[in-house]
Chain A
Amino acid sequence: MESIGAGLAIAIAALGVSVSLAVVYYKTLDSIVRQPDLLGAFRVLMFIGFAFIEAIALYALVVSFTILN
């Protein structure tokens, strides 16, 4: 039962996080195509956004590790 819960915890989080990462990447590519001069600024902003979003999946990963232990 615990292993199912741990799997569900990370699976649901990964579902949401993958969608939001896709949105961020899609929008960044869109902006780069519109304004190629600002590539460096967009890249930095994109990575900051990635790190914020990824943290949510990592919360779920920590929760699932805690459930398994």
Chain B
Amino acid sequence: MSSSEVLIPFQIGAIPFPVTKPIVVMWCVSLTIMVGLFLANRTKLGRGMLVLLYDFISQSFASSFKTNRKIWFSFLVTTFLFVLGCNLSGLVPLSEAPTSSLSVTAGLALLVFVISHAVGVVCHGPAHIKHIVPSGIPMVMVPFMFVLELISQLARPLSLSIRLFANLFAGHQVLLIFLGLIASAAPFLKLLPFAGVVLLSMFEIFVSFIQAFIFTYLASFYISDAAHGAH
């Protein structure tokens, strides 16, 4: 959606891989997470916070997995921290939230989609396709339900990506509009849009946390649903 300018033109063969601002921000976020977790593990306070993070992730998301909880825990904590870091980086000056461009969120959502179906095939084999239709419905309804559930399965990555993208994109657009109001307002009225910007920035921090939580929650729900076939 938002086309940012190319910082480093890079090409493999005929396919261009331009390095843009969101990509650099994503590198910085990954590096910050790695270094931050490494440093947090070395101090007493940091270890206490890591325990809080562990409790939060394992109670909120990892509890829906019945097997291989350790592997899924690492996937979920990575997803949560990465999405949260990407969301929060939109509030850093000169930076731009990678999750406010549709390609990044679509990539993350496709990752969840592919993982959930791969896990379903690994756990159930070809019977995975049968688990799409809920059991216990009359045989006459099965073809209709299959088509309906197929559409809902395909809509999952779409809604997952657009939810994250729309929240971040719309938030930043509203912030930009308020910043424009500061520039255009009369001098004695400039304080009003400024207060609006401050309040909206706080709201953006809240939205960043909520959206990272919801993305990870839905990812864990989709994957555990495919793994256990609860219906």
Contacts and interface: CB of A to CB of B under 8 A. Distances in A.
A pairs with B: yes
Interface stretch (A1-9, A14-22, A25-33, A55-63): A55-63
A65 B173 contact: yes
Question: SS class of chain B's interface: helix, strand, loop or mixed?
Answer: helix
A61 B168 CA distance: 12
B210 A59 contact: no
B210 A51 contact: yes
Given A58-B167, A61-B166, A62-B166, 7 more contacts: A48-B210, A55-B167, A58-B163, A59-B162, A59-B166, A62-B1, A66-B1
Contacts of A47: 210
How many B residues are at the interface, by size bracket? 10 to 19
Contacts of A62: 1, 162, 165-166, 169-170
A9 B211 CA distance: 23
Contact of A58 (B170, B213, B217): B170
A47 B211 CA distance: 11
B214 interface: yes
A59 B213 CA distance: 19
A65 B210 CA distance: 23
A52 B1 CA distance: 22
Contacts of B169: 62, 65
A51 to B, nearest CB: 5
Nearest to B207: A51
A51 B214 contact: yes
Nearest to B60: A44
A26 B96 CA distance: 37
B211 A51 contact: yes
B173 A48 contact: no
